[in-house]
Every structure is written in structure tokens, then in C-alpha cells.
Amino acid sequence: MTDQIAALTALIQARAGSAPVELGLILGSGLGHLAASVEGVAIPYAELDGFPHVGVSGHNPNLVIGTLEGRRVAVFGAREHYYENGNPSAMRLPLAVLKALGATALIATNAAGSLRADILPGDLMLLNDHINFSGLNPLIGERTDARFVPMTMAHDPELRSGLRAAAKACGVTLPEGVYTWYSGPSFETPAEIRAIKILGGDAVGMSTVPEVILARFLGLRVAAISTITNMAAGLSDEQISHEHTKAMAPLGAAKLEQVLRQFLRHGL
């Protein structure tokens, strides 16, 4: 553990108590209100030296440590996206701190566009794999052999089956599919969406893949869920925009909260 990770961990534990965190949760666009459900202590990223300065509207840059459904969780109310500063490893320090706080698992959430006719705006999609369409990697520059992270089972089968069971228990449909990371911040062209479809992508978004790679690098089990806010470019007449993403995310957020609460009660 580096001095910076140790210092941040000590600061967070001094404020929020030192009981080990079980699970980390990263909240995507329009999903920030989930952090308000956690009984605990909110620490602004600005007070955590080295945490990202997130400037995307619809994100709430606090780390909330507390209890949700009786489980000790750490909720990241915002992530830094690659498109903000060109840094694919911006979430490395926060995730290393999550690990140092005791967590063994991470659930990442995001807003995404769907490429599948059976997955519509307002629906959720559980990631069963991903395609890195960006050519970037958060581990570039890492010098140790730990950088050669196996990604065959990157999206943890046990967490996924726990999330599927939780969704079933709540009556929420939770299709699985492949998420494709597009760097953004511009949205994709219809031709890019056709290319992603040919490659096997079911949804597209501008986040999550770096965090999945970093989580595996750090030895955290990881699963991710998309809230579908729109059909991907060229697949409907709808105008794709960030405003639209923020307006639509709450549709899926209510289902997501139900599934996550059920998962924490019975699935983790």
C-alpha cells in the first residue's frame, strides 16, 4: 500500500469508522440519488487528496461510507471519465482505497445506449462481458507483472448470479449483454453503432470498462449494470443528448435501487 492510499484510508476511517467495507458501488449518470439512501458519512472528493475532480453534471462527487440494507458499503457518487481529462486510470486511487477499506467486491453502474431491440430505454442490462472500443487501458504505465490481468471472467459469475436472483425476486427483468466502451464525449455515429453491433456489442457507453480492469488488477470481484437511457445512434428517431441521458436515467434508477437492495439483503 502506498503512503497516499494509507493516508486516505486513515482519514476516511477516522470520519466514518474503521469497520471493514464489504462492497463498493460506483454510481453513473443520473443515479446519484442512490447515495442518499445510505446511512453514513459523506466525504466530498475535494477533501480526499488525489481523488478526481469530477465536472460532469448529473454526478455527485462524494464518497459515502455507511450502511445499506445492513451491509457496510462505500458509494462513489461520481467517477472521472476518460473524456474529462484524457486519463483512463483516474479511478485507480479511489478503487485502491476501496480495497484498503476492506472491500472485496465492486458494483459499477452507468447510463448506456442500447443496440438491442429487446432492451429499451428504462430497462437495465447486466454486463456479462465488455468490448474495449477505445484502445485505451488504465494499466498502461504500470511496471509490475500484475499489469497482465486475465479478463476471461472479468465480470464475476457469482456476483452476476446474485444480481440475477435479486432481480428475479423483485420482478425486475435483467437481460445480460456485452457493453462497449466508447471514449466520448461526443456520442457515436450511426456507422460506429453498426460496427459495434457487428463486433457483438449490446450496449454502448463512455465509462465502466476502465474500472472493471482496475478492479480486477486490484483483486476486487466486479459486476456492472447499465441503465438504458436511449437507443444507440441511428436506431431510433430520438435525439441523443446528455440532457436526455439525465432525464431518462431515473426511469431505470428505481429498478436498480430495488435490485441492489435485494442483492445486499440476500445475494452478496
Task: Using CB under 6 A, list all residues that contact ligand HPA.
Answer: 111-113, 182, 187-188, 204-206, 229-230, 232, 240, 245
Annotated catalytic residue 186 = no
95 or 196: CB nearest ligand HPA: 196
The sign of the CA dihedral 4, 91, 135, 223 is positive
> Mapping DSSP to helix (H, G, I), strand (E, B) and coil, where does residue 180 land?
strand
> Mapping DSSP to helix (H, G, I), strand (E, B) and coil, where does residue 166 land?
helix
Catalytic residue (one of 89, 110, 226, 230): 230
Task: Please state the closest distance from residue 168 (CB atom) to ligand HPA, in A.
Answer: 26
Annotated catalytic residue 206 = yes
**Chain CA centroid to CA 9, Å:** 21
Annotated catalytic residue 89 = no
Write phi, then psi, for 243 (nearest 5 degrees).
-60, -45
Task: Please state the closest distance from residue 181 (CB atom) to ligand HPA, in A.
Answer: 9
Task: Please state the closest distance from residue 184 (CB atom) to ligand HPA, in A.
Answer: 6
Catalytic residue (one of 206, 224, 231, 233): 206
Angle at which helix 157-170 crosses helix 242-262, to 10 degrees, equals: 90
C-alpha distances (whole Å) from 146 to each of 4, 45, 115, 129, 219 are 20, 27, 34, 21, 10
Annotated catalytic residue 247 = no
Task: Please state the closest distance from residue 89 (CB atom) to ligand HPA, in A.
Answer: 20
Catalytic residue (one of 78, 103, 105, 111): 111
Please spell the DSSP secondary structure of 61-113, one letter per residue: -EEEEEEETTEEEEEES----HHHHS-TTTTHHHHHHHHHTT--EEEEEEEEE
Catalytic residue (one of 128, 242, 244, 257): 242
**Distance between CA atoms of 1 and 161, rounded to whole angstroms?**
32
152 or 186: CB nearest ligand HPA: 186
60 or 230: CB nearest ligand HPA: 230
229 or 262: CB nearest ligand HPA: 229
Residues carrying an active site annotation: 29, 59, 81, 83-84, 111, 206-207, 230, 242
